[in-house]
Structure 1
Amino acid sequence: MAAVPDAEPAAGARPFRVMLRMEIKPGLEEEFERVWQEVGTSVTTHPASLGQWLARSRDEEGVYYILSDWADEERFREFEHSARHVEHRRALHPYRRGGTMTTMRVVAHLGPDPDAPATHEEWEATA
Structure 2
Amino acid sequence: MAQENVFRVMLRMEIKPGLDKEFERVWCEVGDSVVTHPANLGQWLSHSEDEGVYYIVSDWVSEERFREFETSDRHLRHREKLHPYRSGGWMTTMNVVTFLPGVASVGTTHQDWESAR
TM-score when normalising by structure 2 = 0.85
Structure 2 residue 15 is the aligned partner of structure 1 residue 17 = no
Counterparts of 2:42 and 2:26 in 1: how far apart (Å)?
17
Q: In the alignment, what sits opposite 2:25?
A: 34
Deviation at 1:113, TM superposition (A): 3.4
Deviation at 1:24, TM superposition (A): 0.1
Tell me, yes or no, if the aligned pair for 2:4 and 2:99 is still in contact at 8 Å: no
Write the mapping of 1:67-106 to structure 2, written as runs, cut at 5 A.
67-106=57-96
Sequence identity of aligned pairs in percent?
Answer: 68
Structure with more relative contact order (C-alpha pairs < 8 Å, separation 6 or more):
2
The structure whose residues are more often helix, as a share, is: 2
Query: Residue 88 of structure 2: SS of its match in structure 1?
Result: strand
Deviation at 1:14, TM superposition (A): 1.7
Q: CA RMSD in A?
A: 1.6
TM-score when normalising by structure 1 = 0.79
Q: Gaps spanning 5+ residues in structure 1: where?
A: 1-8, 117-127
Counterparts of 2:43 and 2:3 in 1: how far apart (Å)?
21
Tell me, yes or no, if the aligned pair for 2:26 and 2:82 is still in contact at 8 Å: yes
Counterparts of 2:47 and 2:3 in 1: how far apart (Å)?
32
Q: Gaps spanning 5+ residues in structure 2: where?
A: 107-117
Structure 2 residue 4 is the aligned partner of structure 1 residue 45 = no
Residues 35, 12 of structure 1: alpha-carbon distance in 2 compared, 3 angstrom cutoff: closer
Post-superposition Cα deviations, 1:64-112, rounded to whole Å, max 9, x if no partner, equal: 0000000000000000000010000000000000010000000011002
Query: Residue 34 of structure 1: SS of its match in structure 2?
Result: helix
Query: Residue 103 of structure 2: SS of its match in structure 1?
Result: coil
